Amino acid sequence: MDIIVENLVQVWDDGGDGVRALDGISHHFRSGTLTCLLGPSGCGKSTLAQIVGGIETATSGAIRIVDPSNPAVPPAKPGRCSVMMWQSLNLFPWRNVIDNVAFGLEMAGVPREARYARARELIGMVGLRNFEEKACSQLSGGMRQRVALARALIMDRPILLMDEPFAALDAQTKIVMQEELTRIFERMRKTILFVTHAIDEAILLGDEVVVMTARPGRIKEVIAIDLPRPRTQEMVGTKAFGELYDRILHLIREEVLNAMRQQDEAVL
Ligand SMILES: Nc1ncnc2c1ncn2[C@@H]1O[C@H](COP(=O)(O)OP(=O)(O)OP(=O)(O)O)[C@@H](O)[C@H]1O
Protein backbone atom coordinates (compact mmCIF):
# COMPACT_ATOMS: atom_id res chain seq x y z
CA MET A 1 0.00 0.00 0.00
CA ASP A 2 1.15 3.54 -0.73
CA ILE A 3 0.88 6.02 2.12
CA ILE A 4 0.37 9.56 0.89
CA VAL A 5 0.75 12.16 3.60
CA GLU A 6 -0.31 15.71 2.77
CA ASN A 7 0.51 18.76 4.83
CA LEU A 8 0.18 17.00 8.15
CA VAL A 9 0.13 19.23 11.23
CA GLN A 10 -0.05 17.95 14.79
CA VAL A 11 -0.44 20.22 17.78
CA TRP A 12 -0.52 18.31 21.05
CA ASP A 13 -2.53 19.72 23.93
CA ASP A 14 -0.19 20.60 26.81
CA GLY A 15 -2.65 22.65 28.81
CA GLY A 16 -1.15 25.86 27.38
CA ASP A 17 -0.39 27.04 23.85
CA GLY A 18 0.03 23.47 22.64
CA VAL A 19 3.10 21.60 21.39
CA ARG A 20 3.51 21.85 17.64
CA ALA A 21 4.99 18.43 16.93
CA LEU A 22 4.52 18.26 13.16
CA ASP A 23 4.42 21.23 10.86
CA GLY A 24 3.34 20.48 7.32
CA ILE A 25 4.67 17.00 6.60
CA SER A 26 4.06 15.84 3.03
CA HIS A 27 5.50 12.63 1.68
CA HIS A 28 4.67 9.65 -0.51
CA PHE A 29 5.74 6.41 1.17
CA ARG A 30 5.77 3.91 -1.68
CA SER A 31 4.29 0.46 -1.49
CA GLY A 32 6.76 -2.26 -0.58
CA THR A 33 9.51 0.12 0.51
CA LEU A 34 11.14 0.58 3.88
CA THR A 35 11.44 4.20 4.96
CA CYS A 36 13.44 5.21 8.00
CA LEU A 37 12.42 8.33 9.92
CA LEU A 38 15.44 9.96 11.45
CA GLY A 39 15.66 13.15 13.49
CA PRO A 40 16.52 14.62 16.86
CA SER A 41 14.63 13.65 19.98
CA GLY A 42 11.20 15.26 20.13
CA CYS A 43 11.01 16.11 16.41
CA GLY A 44 7.77 14.16 15.95
CA LYS A 45 8.89 10.80 14.51
CA SER A 46 6.65 8.76 16.82
CA THR A 47 3.83 11.22 16.36
CA LEU A 48 3.99 10.73 12.60
CA ALA A 49 4.05 6.93 12.95
CA GLN A 50 1.08 7.00 15.31
CA ILE A 51 -0.95 9.17 12.95
CA VAL A 52 -0.14 6.94 9.98
CA GLY A 53 -1.18 3.96 12.11
CA GLY A 54 -4.52 5.57 12.98
CA ILE A 55 -3.69 5.56 16.71
CA GLU A 56 -3.87 9.37 16.75
CA THR A 57 -5.71 11.80 14.53
CA ALA A 58 -3.79 14.75 13.08
CA THR A 59 -4.80 18.31 13.88
CA SER A 60 -4.94 18.98 10.13
CA GLY A 61 -3.78 17.53 6.85
CA ALA A 62 -4.59 14.26 5.17
CA ILE A 63 -3.39 10.69 4.89
CA ARG A 64 -4.41 8.51 1.99
CA ILE A 65 -3.60 4.83 1.94
CA VAL A 66 -4.06 3.43 -1.52
CA ASP A 67 -3.22 0.31 -3.41
CA PRO A 68 -1.09 1.49 -6.37
CA SER A 69 -2.02 -1.59 -8.40
CA ASN A 70 -5.72 -0.87 -7.84
CA PRO A 71 -6.14 2.92 -7.76
CA ALA A 72 -9.91 2.80 -8.29
CA VAL A 73 -10.44 1.29 -4.83
CA PRO A 74 -11.23 4.04 -2.26
CA PRO A 75 -8.48 4.85 0.28
CA ALA A 76 -8.23 2.50 3.26
CA LYS A 77 -8.62 3.59 6.90
CA PRO A 78 -5.13 3.97 8.49
CA GLY A 79 -5.79 1.69 11.49
CA ARG A 80 -7.25 -1.07 9.34
CA CYS A 81 -4.23 -1.83 7.21
CA SER A 82 -1.31 -1.32 9.57
CA VAL A 83 0.21 -2.86 12.64
CA MET A 84 2.62 -1.20 15.04
CA MET A 85 5.65 -2.53 16.89
CA TRP A 86 7.11 -0.45 19.72
CA GLN A 87 10.32 -0.62 21.72
CA SER A 88 8.26 -1.51 24.80
CA LEU A 89 6.98 -4.70 23.24
CA ASN A 90 3.77 -5.09 25.24
CA LEU A 91 4.08 -8.88 25.27
CA PHE A 92 2.20 -10.85 27.89
CA PRO A 93 5.07 -12.24 30.01
CA TRP A 94 2.95 -15.01 31.57
CA ARG A 95 1.81 -16.30 28.19
CA ASN A 96 3.95 -18.60 26.13
CA VAL A 97 5.48 -17.67 22.79
CA ILE A 98 2.80 -19.18 20.60
CA ASP A 99 -0.07 -17.55 22.49
CA ASN A 100 1.67 -14.19 22.31
CA VAL A 101 2.27 -14.53 18.58
CA ALA A 102 -1.28 -15.76 17.95
CA PHE A 103 -2.88 -13.05 20.11
CA GLY A 104 -4.16 -10.87 17.26
CA LEU A 105 -5.79 -13.82 15.53
CA GLU A 106 -7.30 -14.95 18.84
CA MET A 107 -8.89 -11.51 19.23
CA ALA A 108 -10.16 -11.77 15.67
CA GLY A 109 -11.88 -15.05 16.57
CA VAL A 110 -9.67 -17.31 14.43
CA PRO A 111 -10.02 -20.93 15.66
CA ARG A 112 -7.15 -22.28 17.75
CA GLU A 113 -5.83 -24.78 15.21
CA ALA A 114 -5.70 -22.26 12.38
CA ARG A 115 -4.08 -19.53 14.46
CA TYR A 116 -1.51 -21.93 15.90
CA ALA A 117 -0.61 -23.17 12.42
CA ARG A 118 0.01 -19.61 11.23
CA ALA A 119 1.83 -18.69 14.46
CA ARG A 120 4.16 -21.69 14.04
CA GLU A 121 5.08 -20.54 10.53
CA LEU A 122 5.99 -17.08 11.75
CA ILE A 123 7.82 -18.36 14.82
CA GLY A 124 9.93 -20.40 12.40
CA MET A 125 10.48 -17.39 10.18
CA VAL A 126 11.85 -15.28 13.04
CA GLY A 127 14.13 -18.12 14.17
CA LEU A 128 12.32 -19.28 17.32
CA ARG A 129 11.33 -22.81 16.32
CA ASN A 130 11.09 -25.08 19.41
CA PHE A 131 10.44 -22.12 21.71
CA GLU A 132 6.66 -22.17 21.16
CA GLU A 133 5.84 -23.32 24.69
CA LYS A 134 8.30 -21.10 26.58
CA ALA A 135 6.87 -18.29 28.69
CA CYS A 136 7.96 -14.91 27.34
CA SER A 137 9.33 -13.98 30.78
CA GLN A 138 11.98 -16.70 30.28
CA LEU A 139 13.29 -15.27 27.00
CA SER A 140 16.23 -12.95 26.33
CA GLY A 141 15.62 -9.42 25.06
CA GLY A 142 16.45 -10.41 21.48
CA MET A 143 14.11 -13.38 21.61
CA ARG A 144 11.29 -11.22 22.96
CA GLN A 145 11.92 -8.86 20.07
CA ARG A 146 11.48 -11.75 17.65
CA VAL A 147 8.22 -12.72 19.34
CA ALA A 148 6.99 -9.14 18.96
CA LEU A 149 7.97 -9.12 15.29
CA ALA A 150 6.13 -12.39 14.66
CA ARG A 151 3.11 -11.05 16.56
CA ALA A 152 3.05 -8.00 14.31
CA LEU A 153 3.55 -10.01 11.11
CA ILE A 154 0.78 -12.50 11.90
CA MET A 155 -1.79 -9.78 11.33
CA ASP A 156 -0.70 -9.79 7.68
CA ARG A 157 -1.32 -6.08 7.28
CA PRO A 158 0.34 -4.37 4.31
CA ILE A 159 1.85 -1.63 6.50
CA LEU A 160 4.23 -2.22 9.39
CA LEU A 161 5.09 0.68 11.69
CA MET A 162 8.17 0.15 13.83
CA ASP A 163 9.04 2.69 16.50
CA GLU A 164 12.66 2.17 17.61
CA PRO A 165 12.05 -1.56 17.97
CA PHE A 166 15.71 -2.45 18.47
CA ALA A 167 16.81 0.51 20.59
CA ALA A 168 16.94 -1.43 23.87
CA LEU A 169 18.96 -4.35 22.49
CA ASP A 170 22.67 -4.93 23.04
CA ALA A 171 24.90 -4.17 20.04
CA GLN A 172 25.33 -7.76 18.83
CA THR A 173 21.66 -8.70 19.16
CA LYS A 174 20.73 -5.50 17.35
CA ILE A 175 22.92 -6.47 14.39
CA VAL A 176 21.27 -9.87 14.19
CA MET A 177 17.78 -8.38 14.40
CA GLN A 178 18.56 -5.80 11.72
CA GLU A 179 19.67 -8.58 9.39
CA GLU A 180 16.58 -10.62 10.26
CA LEU A 181 14.38 -7.66 9.44
CA THR A 182 16.05 -7.03 6.09
CA ARG A 183 15.67 -10.73 5.25
CA ILE A 184 11.98 -10.75 6.18
CA PHE A 185 11.38 -7.44 4.42
CA GLU A 186 12.96 -8.72 1.21
CA ARG A 187 10.69 -11.74 1.41
CA MET A 188 7.42 -10.02 2.38
CA ARG A 189 7.85 -6.53 0.87
CA LYS A 190 5.47 -4.68 3.15
CA THR A 191 5.43 -0.91 3.37
CA ILE A 192 7.49 -0.23 6.48
CA LEU A 193 8.01 2.99 8.44
CA PHE A 194 10.90 2.53 10.81
CA VAL A 195 11.62 5.18 13.44
CA THR A 196 15.22 5.31 14.60
CA HIS A 197 17.91 7.55 16.08
CA ALA A 198 20.73 5.56 14.55
CA ILE A 199 22.15 6.71 11.20
CA ASP A 200 23.82 3.36 10.45
CA GLU A 201 20.60 1.48 11.16
CA ALA A 202 18.66 3.82 8.88
CA ILE A 203 21.09 3.29 6.00
CA LEU A 204 21.33 -0.45 6.49
CA LEU A 205 17.57 -0.96 6.52
CA GLY A 206 16.05 1.80 4.44
CA ASP A 207 15.18 2.30 0.80
CA GLU A 208 15.04 5.93 1.81
CA VAL A 209 15.81 7.97 4.88
CA VAL A 210 13.55 10.87 5.75
CA VAL A 211 15.56 13.34 7.82
CA MET A 212 13.35 15.52 10.00
CA THR A 213 14.09 18.94 11.50
CA ALA A 214 14.09 19.75 15.20
CA ARG A 215 10.60 20.46 16.52
CA PRO A 216 8.28 21.44 14.96
CA GLY A 217 8.98 18.44 12.75
CA ARG A 218 9.30 19.13 9.05
CA ILE A 219 11.01 17.11 6.38
CA LYS A 220 14.52 18.45 5.94
CA GLU A 221 15.67 16.06 3.23
CA VAL A 222 14.86 12.67 1.77
CA ILE A 223 17.89 10.54 0.97
CA ALA A 224 17.52 7.57 -1.37
CA ILE A 225 19.57 4.59 -0.20
CA ASP A 226 20.63 2.89 -3.38
CA LEU A 227 22.72 0.15 -1.79
CA PRO A 228 21.94 -3.27 -3.26
CA ARG A 229 19.88 -5.88 -1.41
CA PRO A 230 20.26 -8.22 0.34
CA ARG A 231 21.91 -5.91 2.86
CA THR A 232 24.41 -7.23 5.36
CA GLN A 233 26.58 -5.74 8.09
CA GLU A 234 29.62 -6.05 5.82
CA MET A 235 28.24 -3.10 3.83
CA VAL A 236 28.78 -0.81 6.79
CA GLY A 237 32.50 -0.64 5.99
CA THR A 238 32.08 0.22 2.30
CA LYS A 239 32.80 3.57 0.67
CA ALA A 240 29.20 3.97 -0.52
CA PHE A 241 27.89 3.40 3.00
CA GLY A 242 30.41 5.84 4.46
CA GLU A 243 29.42 8.56 1.99
CA LEU A 244 25.74 8.19 2.88
CA TYR A 245 26.61 8.22 6.57
CA ASP A 246 28.59 11.45 6.29
CA ARG A 247 25.87 13.15 4.29
CA ILE A 248 23.15 12.22 6.78
CA LEU A 249 25.36 12.99 9.78
CA HIS A 250 25.86 16.51 8.44
CA LEU A 251 22.08 17.03 8.17
CA ILE A 252 21.32 15.50 11.56
CA ARG A 253 24.04 17.34 13.43
CA GLU A 254 22.50 20.68 12.52
CA GLU A 255 19.09 19.55 13.74
CA VAL A 256 20.36 18.03 16.97
CA LEU A 257 22.09 21.34 17.73
CA ASN A 258 18.83 23.17 17.01
CA ALA A 259 16.94 20.80 19.33
CA MET A 260 19.52 21.38 22.08
CA ARG A 261 19.19 25.14 21.66
CA GLN A 262 15.41 24.81 22.03
CA GLN A 263 15.87 22.85 25.24
CA ASP A 264 18.28 25.45 26.65
CA GLU A 265 15.83 28.25 25.83
CA ALA A 266 13.01 26.34 27.53
CA VAL A 267 15.09 26.01 30.72
CA LEU A 268 16.16 29.69 30.81
N1 LIG B 1 0.35 12.34 23.58
C2 LIG B 1 1.05 13.47 23.65
N3 LIG B 1 0.60 14.53 24.34
C4 LIG B 1 1.28 15.68 24.43
N5 LIG B 1 2.48 15.88 23.84
C6 LIG B 1 3.01 14.87 23.15
C7 LIG B 1 2.33 13.61 23.01
N8 LIG B 1 3.10 12.79 22.24
C9 LIG B 1 4.21 13.50 21.94
N10 LIG B 1 4.15 14.74 22.48
C11 LIG B 1 5.15 15.80 22.29
O12 LIG B 1 5.32 16.00 20.89
C13 LIG B 1 6.71 16.19 20.57
C14 LIG B 1 7.12 15.12 19.57
O15 LIG B 1 7.14 13.87 20.26
P16 LIG B 1 7.50 12.50 19.54
O17 LIG B 1 7.48 11.45 20.60
O18 LIG B 1 6.65 12.34 18.37
O19 LIG B 1 8.99 12.79 19.06
P20 LIG B 1 10.12 11.77 18.63
O21 LIG B 1 10.85 12.41 17.52
O22 LIG B 1 9.55 10.43 18.40
O23 LIG B 1 11.02 11.76 19.94
P24 LIG B 1 12.03 10.63 20.49
O25 LIG B 1 13.05 10.45 19.41
O26 LIG B 1 12.62 11.26 21.72
O27 LIG B 1 11.23 9.41 20.77
C28 LIG B 1 7.44 16.15 21.91
O29 LIG B 1 7.63 17.47 22.36
C30 LIG B 1 6.52 15.38 22.81
O31 LIG B 1 6.71 15.77 24.15
Which pLDDT score, from 0 to 100, does residue 144 have? 87
If you take atom 6 of ligand 1, which residue's CA is the nearest one? 12
- 9, 14, 41, 46: residue to mutate for ligand 1 pocket, most atoms within 8 A of CB: 46
Strands (E), 47-177: 60-66, 82-86, 159-163
The letter for the amino acid at 118 is R
Question: Torsions phi, psi of 139, nearest 5?
Answer: -95, 155
Which pLDDT score, from 0 to 100, does residue 117 have? 94
Q: Residue 257 in 3-state DSSP?
A: helix
Q: What is the pLDDT of residues 167-183, one digit of tens each?
A: 877 888 888 888 888 88
Span of 4-13, 127-136, 199-208 with lowest mean pLDDT: 127-136
Output the ligand 1 site: residues, CB below 6 A: 12, 14, 19, 21, 39, 41-47, 197, 215
Strands (E), 93-218: 159-163, 191-196, 208-212
With vertex at residue 149, the alpha carbon angle to CA 207 and CA 142, rounded to the nearest 5 degrees, is 100
The letter for the amino acid at 142 is G
If you take atom 10 of ligand 1, which residue's CA is the nearest one? 12
Span of 67-81, 88-102, 245-259 with lowest mean pLDDT: 67-81
Q: Is the pLDDT of residue 204 over 70?
A: yes
Closest listed residue to residue 49, CA positions, set 193, 166, 157, 185: 193
Neighbours of 90 (CB within 10 A): 11
Cα dihedral 3→33→158→80 (10° resolution): -30
C-alpha distances in Å from residue 109, one per residue of 82, 103, 158 = 19, 10, 20
Q: What is the pLDDT of residues 13-23, one digit of tens each?
A: 888 888 899 99
The rounded Å distance from CA 265 to ligand 1 centre is: 18
* DSSP assignment letter at 58: -
* DSSP assignment letter at 77: P
Closest listed residue to residue 3, CA positions, set 41, 33, 40: 33
More confidently predicted of 57 and 263: 57
Closest listed residue to residue 183, CA positions, set 10, 34, 28, 72: 34
Do 151 and 144 touch, CB atoms closer than 8 A? no
The mean predicted confidence, pLDDT, of the chain is 89
If you take atom 23 of ligand 1, which residue's CA is the nearest one? 42
C-alpha distances in Å from residue 52, one per residue of 61, 63, 80, 117 = 12, 7, 11, 30
If you take atom 30 of ligand 1, which residue's CA is the nearest one? 42
- The minimum-distance atom of ligand 1 relative to the CA of 50 is 18
Give the mean model confidence (pLDDT) for residues 223-237.
91
Give the mean model confidence (pLDDT) for residues 211-217.
91
More confidently predicted of 89 and 250: 250
What is the β-pairing status of strands 191-196 and 159-163?
Answer: parallel
- The minimum-distance atom of ligand 1 relative to the CA of 13 is 4
Q: Is the pLDDT of residue 241 over 80?
A: yes
Closest listed residue to residue 149, CA positions, set 169, 68, 202, 80: 169
The rounded Å distance from CA 113 to ligand 1 centre is: 41
Q: Is the pLDDT of residue 216 over 80?
A: yes
Give the mean model confidence (pLDDT) for residues 64-88.
79
Domain edges within the chain: 2-81+157-267, 88-156
* ipTM field: 0.97
Q: Which CATH number fits domain 2-81+157-267: 3.40.50.300, 3.40.50.40, 1.10.3210.10, 3.40.50.360?
A: 3.40.50.300
Which pLDDT score, from 0 to 100, does residue 94 have? 83
- 10, 17, 38, 47: residue to mutate for ligand 1 pocket, most atoms within 8 A of CB: 47
If you take atom 9 of ligand 1, which residue's CA is the nearest one? 47
Q: What is the pLDDT of residues 182-200, one digit of tens each?
A: 888 888 889 999 999 999 9
Q: What is the pLDDT of residues 77-134, one digit of tens each?
A: 777 788 888 766 678 888 899 999 999 899 999 999 999 999 999 898 888 889 999 9
Q: How confident is the model at residue 233 (pLDDT cuts 50, 70, 90)?
A: confident
- The minimum-distance atom of ligand 1 relative to the CA of 37 is 21
